[in-house]
Structure 1
Amino acid sequence: MFSHLDPRTILYYIVVSQIILLLDASVLLEASTVLLFTLPFWFNHQWRLAGGIVVLYFLQLTASLFWLPHVNNAVLLYPLSMLTTGFRELVPGILVGLIAFKFTTLAAWISLFKKWHLPKFFTVSFAVFFRFFPTIRADYRQIRDALAFRGIERGFLGFVKHPGQTFELILIPLLMNASQVASDLTISVLTKGLGLTGRQTSMVVLRLTKVDAFDLAVGSVPILLALGGF
């Protein structure tokens, strides 16, 4: 149902998430926003991702409400506060980022930027950024598969048992490859003509559909709740 969203819908979600963050909303409003923002994942049958985010959020919320007030050690209090409160308040924004990557396409974003006549450097930078993390994730999977083929333990358990080996065999290749990936993506984007001057057209036609209308209504609920004193 939500497989293709208009980029303007995503931008509206970004505005809503930042308003909720700046208002320092109540716990109930914050939790309601998180649940509403997970609806696209539920409708697209991505239950594992949506359920994992919800469970992680409510674990942070439970820890901040019932466990953190009983911590008297200042050395532990600050990092725990960052994990349970600081990161928890960023969950709505993280959800919007995931929605942007999963339910819109780069072509739709570029079409919108061309329509709004945004500067070329912004369009090129965004195109590289949009494709950077999926490319790095694919490289990470290839590295993990290579480690598994060699019989080297991977995943979180492997990191706990052999942190030095994990850093050497996974993080260092990823960091070394990141600059090359950024350079290759930039060349690819420029080859497609995004950096050219003059008027440009796009084959992607942006239209707000019924799905976008429903999503905009869902995104408006947290603002209405905030205005109503919820």
Structure 2
Amino acid sequence: MTSSSSAFPDRSGVHTASNSARRLDPRAKLYLLLIANLLLFFHVDTRGEAIVVALLLLPLFVAGRWRAGLRLTIVYVLLLALGLWSDTVTMTGSGSGGGSLISAISSGGADAATAGSAAAPTTAFVTAGHVAGLLSVGIRMMMPCLISGAYAFTTTTISEFVCAMRRMRVPEAVVIPCMVVIRFFPTIVHDYRQIRNAMAMRGIAAGRFALVRHPVQSLEFILVPLLMNATIVSRDLSVAALTKGLGIAGEHTCMTTIRMRWFDWGYMAVCTVPLALAIGGVL
């Protein structure tokens, strides 16, 4: 009994140290999320945006989230390439489009009336470039928030998040709803997988693209149960949080230890510099 009890702290201590050495502090993760939102708010240049996105992707790979990091990197690179192709098409296409989608459409009507069907393929190509550029910019502006949010919520436990919020003197009225929201989405994902497994066992909308081929069955057998279960899950999570004493007034203790280290402050500064330069117009 003595040897087993003495070995338990050693294993837990090594596990905590190995995990914390590869991850940023939760407060640093929240700061990266703030930087991503500022990047969206100020709508900086493409060069500065690419540098900040690369810095936001790096912690995902360091934390061992290779699959998520590669997926987000590929999506961002494709959106960036689509935006550059759209700029090239709209600048070297018809020339008289004026640089906007509305003017491209109006010039397309004028060309079709005057030059016949010869200018129609060019105008349609330029219009497609404008539409692709709109979609690329719209989705790409949200990518920094998605990247930083994916890193923050996949590498932070509930206890670490609660400890960080209390270190920042956040009121308990804000901590409890945030904790419920963090636990809500993994529970909904788990329920979705259980529903999909039950449907596959019964041969209902089976296959990879079955949800697209059978939209009515998807609405009936997936969305309706998820929406009905969402209220129950949120209520149960709120009751579980209050049962653990999170709503009791007074000073709370936490078994999880978090600490801002030198690389947390350094990485926050490294991510802030290109954002500030991009906002100032230097990059």
> Structure 1 120/97 Cα, relative in aligned 2: closer, same or farther at 3 Å?
same
Distance 1:155 1:73 in 2: 41
Tell me the equivalent position of 2:282: 229
From 226, 245, 253, the equivalent of 1:193 is 245
Within the alignment, does 1:90 sit opposite 2:142 as a pair? yes
1:69-218 maps to which residues of 2 (within 5 A)?
Answer: 69=90, 72=104, 83-154=135-206, 157-209=209-261, 211-213=263-265, 215-218=267-270
Tell me the equivalent position of 1:10: 29
From 60, 66, 82, the equivalent of 1:63 is 82
Question: Could you say what the CA RMSD is over the residues aligned between the two structures, in angstroms?
Answer: 2.8
> Structure 1 118/217 Cα, relative in aligned 2: closer, same or farther at 3 Å?
closer
Normalising by the residue count of structure 2, what TM-score does the alignment of the two structures yield? 0.71
| Equivalent position SS for 1:38 | helix
Distance 2:227 2:80 in 1: 33
Count of aligned pairs: 230
Within the alignment, does 1:42 sit opposite 2:94 as a pair? no
Distance 1:155 1:33 in 2: 38
Normalising by the residue count of structure 1, what TM-score does the alignment of the two structures yield? 0.86
Based on CA coordinates, which of the two structures has the bigger radius of gyration? 2
Deviations 1:167-201 (A, max 9, x none): 21111111111111100100000011111112222
Cα offset for 1:23? 2.4
Asked if the contact 1:20–1:30 (Cα under 8 Å) also holds between the matched residues in 2, the reply is: yes
| Equivalent position SS for 1:167 | helix
> Structure 1 155/105 Cα, relative in aligned 2: closer, same or farther at 3 Å?
farther
Structure with the bigger RCO (C-alpha within 8 Å, sep 6+) is 1
Cα offset for 1:91? 0.8
Deviations 1:141-163 (A, max 9, x none): 11111122222344661122111
Tell me the equivalent position of 2:3: none
| Equivalent position SS for 1:35 | helix
Distance 2:154 2:204 in 1: 31
Gapped runs of 5+ residues in structure 2?
1-18, 94-100, 107-126
Distance 1:166 1:73 in 2: 38
The one-letter amino acid of 2:227's match is L
Gapped runs of 5+ residues in structure 1?
none
The sequence identity of aligned pairs, in percent, is 36
Distance 1:61 1:104 in 2: 29
> Structure 1 45/4 Cα, relative in aligned 2: closer, same or farther at 3 Å?
closer
Distance 1:76 1:139 in 2: 40
| Equivalent position SS for 1:198 | coil
